[in-house]
Amino acid sequence: MLSLETPVSDLRMIGPIYHQRLNKLGITTIGDLLHHIPFRYDDLSKITNTKSIHLDDVITIIGKVLSIKNIFTKYGKNIQIASISDETGTIDVLWYNQPFLVNILSQGTRISIAGKVEEKDKRLILISPEYEIIKDKQDNSYSHLIHTGRLVPIYNETQGLSSKWIRSRIHSILFKLFIDIQEFLPEEIIEQNNLVNEKEAILKIHFPQSLIEADEAKKRLSFDELLILQLSSILRRNQWNKKKANFVLNLDKTKDRIDDFINNLPFKLTQSQTKAVQEILKDLVSQKPMNRLLEGDVGSGKTVVAAIAMYATYLIGHNSVIMAPTEILAFQHYKTVSELLAPFNVKIGLVTGSSKKQNQIIPDVLIGTHALISNKTKLSKVGLVIIDEQQRFGVEQRSKLREKVGSPHVLTMTATPIPRTIALTLYSDLDLSIINELPLGRIQVKTWVVPLIKRSAAYIWIRKKILSSNPHQQAFIVCPLIEISESIKSVKAAVKEFEYLKHDIFSDLKLGLLHGRMKTNEKNKIIDQFKNNKIDILVSTPVVEVGIDIPYATIMMIEASERYGLAQLHQLRGRVGRNNLESFCLLFSESDNLKAISRIKLLEKIYNGPQLAEYDLKLRGSGEIFGTNQHGHFFLKIANISDLKLFEETKHSAESLMSKGKGLSKFPLLREKLQKYTIRNIAPD
């Protein structure tokens, strides 16, 4: 018996070439194919006759082929002209560059054609309509129609794989093969949430009789995805709560020294920083290991909060580890943490992929990249693990680090603004601390979307700002690409732009170039020069988005800004304004798309990261929050991640199931589904 887990390669209707094409869409099993849902439906359900048609009608006509011929125009175009008749008359049909139709649609073939009625030479015709052949054995009920005469599903495609091909194979699987589609949700959950059953949902999402049916099907399949996500988070949290922390902080013995550390900082903590510190210290005194996410904008002061946690860990005789996604960010953390902790006799170490010598014995605080996971890096007595920009690591990388050191307290940090719905799902197993205010003295970065006609004026303004400033101020110019792309030649690339700006625009200033293909020592050299004010303008790719702290950089100019998500633009903007100097962000765009321009203009009036992330979510989807689909995340193929109502419903259902099911042992089919599709293996009972 075929099941949803059956590989599509086992189906005779899908050969090796099409199997490879399906793989490009992430489809390897029958279940994957059936959950490759339409992104829209074309309404071709109006079945009429040739006598009743009108201009611009979208209709389906069923008739017979009277004639069909293949002709070439004097301009070399290949056209197929057919005449289709029914009981009321005839209609001419045109196709372009499909000569094979002459052999397929021979005279007398019964056919259904669908499309928009157009006018040519004062006659009503159909141009490039959808068609399907009706076999003699098929009845006149039209229920057999797949591509015409109904709501027709349209799918995401890839080269050599059309919606028509996908539609035909899904129809064959659902109506010609016996597929075991089991209902895995308990009946009470289906009734409480007014859901259709699983099999009905899969049938109706692909071949609905109405848009209401399609919506019912989508709600059920969306509910499935979100419920799995909610259950996964609950089970991970339960599993985490069973662990015993590597150490427990004794605040009675350490509070005075922690207070001294905070009081000796060269600045006063903001209220939200203080609140985050209190939440973290409360976690550290618990027998249960901390599992907390610290969210805050670029420059909001997350690192100093983490440093206080590291110092508390040091006082109890345990070590801390910080894992950063890039060497640039690792070096930045090393510098900042050293300045904060070294005066208190805390030994700081650094290990990256380019490190010549790996640490044999861990210092009090070890900072590094994924090289920390390497067997060459020795870790001992680790009480605290800090993972910065955790969404940039795969689940496996994060897990390996945690597992390498037992049951440490874990603090993850991110400058990526997280919308509420994502916080409720992807990160619902984590406790959340938010730093939602800038350090004292910081000034909001003025942001402008600059029209192209003012580009020259902007260059003049930037030069004047740099040359007349005291203290000497600097600028970033960010390009989305390293080299010019053949496919998007209009988009500025860093290497070419650097040469142009250096020789033609800012020849009297010192310019530097930074991008991801440079060697680590080259990048570090450029960053050091920029920090030491030996470079006036740094031309860069978005590699500066994370980890580059230049106190006197006050101008951020971003090319092709429409190509970025709002959250990413907000993070780039956060690279300037790191002190009490007035700072500016100039957004340039080559796009003439008014929708794209109005989207980036939101940055002129909104300075709240999570609010911008919510806009990103609504306008462009969850991929824009994180920059790309991250390895190891549970991706929502069907559910709308901004559907807060459905999130709340599935959360309630998940909590209800867990309270009744003792680790879902009472619901074996649901448990099996969860094991197959969750982010990680579920916790044991």
Fold that domain 46-149 belongs to in CATH:
OB fold (Dihydrolipoamide Acetyltransferase, E2P) (2.40.50)
| CB 246 within 8 Å of CB 382 | yes
Amino acid (one-letter) located at 365: V
Fold that domain 446-606 belongs to in CATH:
Rossmann fold (3.40.50)
At 69 the three-state DSSP class reads: strand
How far is residue 515 from each of residues 64, 175, 328, 354, 585, measured CA to CA in Å? 63, 53, 11, 17, 20
* Of 237, 633, 684, 624, residue with least CA distance to 398: 633
Q: What is the pTM of this model?
A: 0.76
Measured distance CA(475)–CA(458) in Å, rounded: 12
- Provide the 10 A C-beta neighbour count for residue 460: 12
Regions in the chain scoring below 50 on pLDDT: 486-490, 624-634, 679-685
**Range(s) for CATH 3.40.50.300 in the chain?**
251-285+301-414, 446-606
Q: Strands across the sheet with 382-388, in order?
A: 348-351, 365-368, 319-323, 382-388, 409-414, 291-296, 431-435
Residue showing tokens 């590094």: 368
At 473 the three-state DSSP class reads: coil
Residues in a beta bridge with 119: 124
Residue showing tokens 């089991």: 182
CATH (residue range 251-285+301-414): 3.40.50.300
Q: What is the pLDDT of residues 44-95, one digit of tens each?
A: 999 999 999 999 999 999 999 999 999 988 888 899 999 999 999 999 999 9
**Range(s) for CATH 2.40.50.140 in the chain?**
46-149
Token digits of residue 85: 């008749």
Quick one: pLDDT at residue 88? 96
Residues in a beta bridge with 271: none
Residues in a beta bridge with 40: 154
Measured distance CA(437)–CA(474) in Å, rounded: 25
Measured distance CA(292)–CA(636) in Å, rounded: 24
Residue showing tokens 């010598």: 357
| CB 369 within 8 Å of CB 352 | yes
One-letter-per-residue 3-state SS of 31-64:
HHHHCCCCCEEEECCCEECHHHCCCCCEEEEEEE
Q: What is the pLDDT of residues 234-261, one digit of tens each?
A: 888 888 888 898 899 999 999 999 999 9
How far is residue 148 from each of residues 60, 237, 498, 684, measured CA to CA in Å? 6, 49, 55, 50
- Provide the 10 A C-beta neighbour count for residue 337: 24
Could you give the dihedral angle defined by the CA atoms of residues 205, 206, 212 and 216, in that order, rounded to the nearest 10 degrees? -10
How far is residue 479 from each of residues 520, 521, 540, 558, measured CA to CA in Å? 20, 22, 6, 6
Quick one: pLDDT at residue 672? 86
How far is residue 447 from each of residues 176, 302, 605, 606, measured CA to CA in Å? 59, 24, 8, 9
User: Dihedral sign, CA of 169, 170, 176, 180?
Assistant: positive
**Crossing angle for the helix pair 211-241 and 668-677, to the nearest 10 degrees:** 80
| CB 46 within 8 Å of CB 38 | no
Query: Which is it for strands 151-154 and 40-43: parallel, antiparallel or unpaired?
Result: antiparallel
Query: Which is it for strands 291-296 and 151-154: parallel, antiparallel or unpaired?
Result: unpaired
Query: Widest CA span of the chain, in angstroms?
Result: 96
* Of 547, 544, 554, 538, residue with least CA distance to 471: 554
Quick one: pLDDT at residue 547? 61
Phi, psi (5° rounding) for residue 293?
A: -105, 125
Quick one: pLDDT at residue 676? 76
Would residue 495 be called left, alpha or beta, if left means φ above 0 and alpha means ψ between -120 and 50 degrees?
alpha
Using CB atoms within 10 Å of the CB of residue 684, give its burial: 0 to 12 exposed, 13 to 18 middle, 19+ buried.
Answer: exposed
Query: Which is it for strands 78-86 and 89-96: parallel, antiparallel or unpaired?
Result: antiparallel
* Of 303, 273, 309, 276, residue with least CA distance to 383: 309
